[in-house]
Every structure is written in C-alpha cells, then in structure tokens.
A and B are shown apart, each in its own frame.
Chain A
C-alpha cells in the first residue's frame, strides 16, 4: 500500500513540475544548438523525484501546491543542468535510455546547454519574488545557492578521488561525498524549501538535513547497486558503468578493504588506466571479486539500515502532521528507494 502511492504521486507531481518547467524554456533562436537541446533531457522523462518531494512536503505542511510549483520547476531545471555536466565529467554514454548529450553533439555544445539550463533554473526563483513575496523568495534563493555549492563540493570530492586514483577512500568519506553530491539536491533541498514555503520560513530548516541525508544515501547506494545488478533497459544507463568510470562506490570501497594486497594492487592499476583502456575482462574481474567478498550484500544491508534511519527521522519531522496523501508519500519513500528496480 505504501509503495503503491509513490509511483502515483511521482507521476502526478512530476508531470505538473515538467509542465511548469517547459514554460521557462524560450521558443526562440538559437534553437538548433541551444534551446532544442536544453529541452532534450527534460523531454526524456525521468521520475521527477526531486520536484515531487518539494511539492509533497509543502502540501503535507498545509500549503497549496501552486505556491511550490515554480520552486519545484527550478529544482528540476537545475538537476538537468547538473546531469549534462555530470555526464561529461563522468564520460557517461547513456542517460535515461538514450545517448548522452555530449556524445551526440560534442562537449562544447553540451557544456553550453548545461550552463543555460542552470540559468533557466534561476528564472522560477525570480518569479517567486512576485508570488511568494521578496523575503521568502530571497530565502529560497539563498537555499538554492547553498544547495548548488554543496553539490559542487561533493562532485569535486568524487572527481578528485578519481583524478588522483585514490585508494584510501573510506566509508565515511563516501557518505560525506554522497551527503553533498546526491542528498542536497535530491532530498535535503526539496524538503527544506517545501517546508519553508509552507511555513513562511518558520521551521528550522536544519532539522531536515538528517532525513534527507539518510534517504539520499540509501537512494545512492541502491542506485550504485542497480548499476551492477539491474536491468539495463529499466536502469537507463550502461550496466557496470560505474566500475568502468572508476566511481568510488560503497561496493568498491568495501572491495578495497576486503581484498588481498595483490588484489588491491591490481585494482589500483586498473583504476589508474584511462577509461578507454579498461577492458571488459578487467571489469568482469572486479565484479566477480565484489561477489566473492560479499560487497554487494554488504552495501545492500547498509542501504537498508539507512532507510530505517530515514523512516525514524520522518517520524520525528512529520509525525505530528495529520494524515494526508503527501505525508504517506514521504513516509513510503525510504522503503521505495531500496526496493526500486
């Protein structure tokens, strides 16, 4: 019952946010090399998880959805902007079941498209000045600036590890990176601004960080697991791509901890290679070692623990609110993030 509500709400609020998002994409030149491409990733769909969480939080706190819709559209635009840049930085080949933008149009154009998506993401926040008043709109703008900073810092951590081929990354480092890179944009920011809009910035926004962190960390670990064990058509990206990219996932960190000295050395040599030189055989060996040392099961259990912690934080934050569809949706998210395929 709880899990069924999530897809329904995501569909409803995701469609609403996307509809609002497209209002901010100008129908003017240059279309071929900019605005058509700006619309490309949003048109591919996606779950609309982030804007839905923002709208649902606002509604759970007693706010009309219209008040949160521009902010939700902004979140989705900024998310798409970061996806375009992330795909370049990670040398990803597929996004939402299709080739990534930089593989079809080249890196310079893709960077420019990402820049424009980021700028368009600020537009709805300026509209907030008119609809929500200058004080609340400015607070949301400040929140957005913080979210973007945290996300960039998290991305820098991960890129730095790969650049230096760091083999000393520990679980706590990984969780801090996830807190910044994944959780701020994906969970913490939507919940914070949703509550901020609904309460006219009267609740303590920091109280939402823990819920968003645990939910987001469970989400990220499950995402990394799906990259290894999921169905490529459902997942929308290449399977095993994280190993190929040298991403420091919880499973890889666990493998570094559990492996023998020789295996660690081989693993380090493999990750030091340029992406194109990592062979399928080597990737398969990494995958086999992960199975051998139980790294996948380990990560799955950590994700389950974090989801339980997120449920606990939910009860502290939302427990006092009356029952509603939106409250049930947020309540169901911890289970949904670790059960999704």
Chain B
C-alpha cells in the first residue's frame, strides 16, 4: 500500500510499523522563493547518507564551487527582481514615481528659486559685497558658503580629538590632518595592442569539477582545479594621445576599452586631480561616425592642472574608459 486511501481500513495499532498507513511527506514545506522553479520540475531529493560502521559516512567531498556560485547568482537575480518591484513604489529625491501636479511643480519652482537666491547672497557675503552682521569671528556659521552650520569650523577651535589619559597611551598625531595624495603620480603606459580580444563573458563560470574532467575507469588521482582568481583577459584597450592647442598647451590622454567600439560615448565633467579648488572641466564631447572623435572646449579661465574622468557608454551607463586632460599654465 503505497498511497494513502481514506477508504482503506487502517491496520490495528499493534500491527508492525512497516504495515501502518503512511502519508507521503508534503511536497513543499517552504515558500517557493525561486519563481522560475514553479515552471520547472522540482529538484531531486538529496539522498540520505548511508550509515557506515563508524556512523554515517561524510557526504561526498567534491567541491561545491559550482553549486555555491550558481546559488549566489540565483540569490542575486531574485534580490534584484524584488528590488525592482519595490522600487516602482518609491521615487528618489529627483525622480518621482508619478507625474507632478501643476501646483506641486509651482511650489517646487518657488523653493528652487528661493534656494538659488539664498545661495547668491551667501556667496556675495564672503566676497565682500555683504556685511556679516551678527556673526562672531570663528563662528561655524561664518565659513559656510551656504550660510549654514559648518561642522569643521565648529570643531576647529577645539582642535583635534585627543584620547583621554585613562584609556591607555594616546595615539600619536596623524601625519596629516587633510589627506594629501602621494606626489609622484604614475603615468599610464598603454600596453601593446593585441590583434584579438575575446568579449567578456556575461557570467562567471566556475571551472568544471574534477569528476567532469576525469576519464572513464580508475583514473589517477587528479589535482582538484582551483578557480582562477585572475581576471579573464579583456585584451588591451585602445589608447590614443592627442595634443590639442586651444590657445594654450593641453595634453589629452584617452584610454578606451574594447567595449567602447561602436558605442555612443559620453564623459561627465572631469575632476581636478592636482589643482586645489579648481572647478570640474566640462565640455568634453564624443562623437562616433565610424571613427571616435573627441571635442574639447576649455574655458580660458580654467586653472592649469590635470583633470580626469571616466568615459561611459551612454546606453548601458557602464564605464568603458577614462580621459585625462592636462592643461599647461
């Protein structure tokens, strides 16, 4: 009697255990979290380990590399799917979920204008156009360009934090209060270009387990392969160098990876690496009409220095290279 039948008479209670009616275990005891599983056949049940003379034998010790990585990918996919579902219900600070009413837009516009005018006055103050009434020298409110509270200024008069004596030897003062990048900057040397670069794989595939590579029959004990931790070779990027003369000397270094070919590229504003307080360098434009073109507009007042930023594939918003511009004085 393999299936439970309600019309069968149950055996007596003193019947041997193996003759008693048994229900099959429920098909599922946990919620199905893996949605695609609904459309697939259920996984095979893991066999119980057979008991050995000294207790159950250990489960097979084959590497669980493949299983672990595929589980991780599945967890990631499920996590992202749920995240996307949840995100539909929420809007960021800049991108709301639903359309705004005219009233909301008007109120927001008023607030932006109010902020902009407030900032203008705040900038005018330090430049000497506005009196700094009611603010004592050294006040944390004096230094903030937005007229707000400046925590650095608040802490500055009290000096750096020093640990109290009862808690052991005070830490020696750090060599610098502000981070200073190491002065000798390595320049990028483009590697030699190769003829062919394989495209990057979408997903990591762990190396085959040892039993998959072993031949039939009693094979010699093979060394279990370890996963390669070296990144797969993407091939050398396209490295170009331009000397652009814009009334002043400038050096442009452009590094593009293989993924940049045929893409529509954009470059956000380039950050100043060594010019303290310099505004970002904007006006870097790419064109692609078969050949990649780069247009660079440098304002005459842009301070000399090195500016760097990432090059992005506009469609996928993934980084495909970097551009560095050095403006000479």
Chain A residues in the interface with B (C-beta under 8 A): 12, 15-16, 18-20, 22-28, 31-32, 35-36, 39-40, 43, 61-67, 69, 123, 126-127, 129-130, 135, 138-139, 142, 168, 170-172, 175-176, 179, 195, 198-200, 202-204, 206-207, 209-210, 213-214, 217, 257-260, 292-294, 297-298, 301-302, 304-309, 311-325, 331, 334-335
Contact = CB atoms under 8 A, between A and B. Distances in A.
A127 B310 contact: no
A305 B178 contact: no
A16 B270 CA distance: 24
Contact of B75 (A168, A175, A207, A316): A175
Contact of B155 (A26, A126, A324): A26
A67 B271 contact: yes
A251 B186 CA distance: 44
Nearest to B68: A302
Contacts of A312: 201, 203-204, 231-232
Specify which of A298, A307, A313 lies most central, judged by the most chain B CB atoms within 10 Å of its CB. Answer: A298
Contacts of B175: 15
B174 A62 contact: no
Contact of B206 (A168, A308, A321, A335): A308
Given A40-B167, A179-B76, A308-B65, 10 more contacts: A127-B151, A130-B144, A130-B150, A135-B94, A258-B58, A302-B69, A306-B69, A308-B69, A320-B255, A320-B319
Given A64-B271, A293-B59, A313-B204, A198 B310 contact: yes
B269 A200 contact: yes
A324 B174 contact: no
Interface of B, secondary structure class, is loop
Contacts of A200: 268-269, 280
B155 A63 contact: no
Report the 8 A-B pairs with minimum CB-CB distance, sorted nearest first: A320-B257, A302-B68, A62-B308, A308-B227, A312-B204, A305-B65, A315-B231, A204-B317
B299 interface: no
A331 B320 CA distance: 17
B147 to A, nearest CB: 11
A36 B164 contact: yes
Interface residues of B, number: 106
B268 A63 contact: no
B158 A26 contact: yes
Given A172-B71, A319-B257, A27 B158 contact: yes
A43 B174 CA distance: 12
Contacts of B177: 19, 23
B159 A27 contact: yes
Nearest to B150: A130
Contact of A317 (B75, B227, B319): B319
* Residue from the set B49, B189, B230 with the largest chain A CB neighbour count within 10 Å: B230
A172 B74 contact: yes
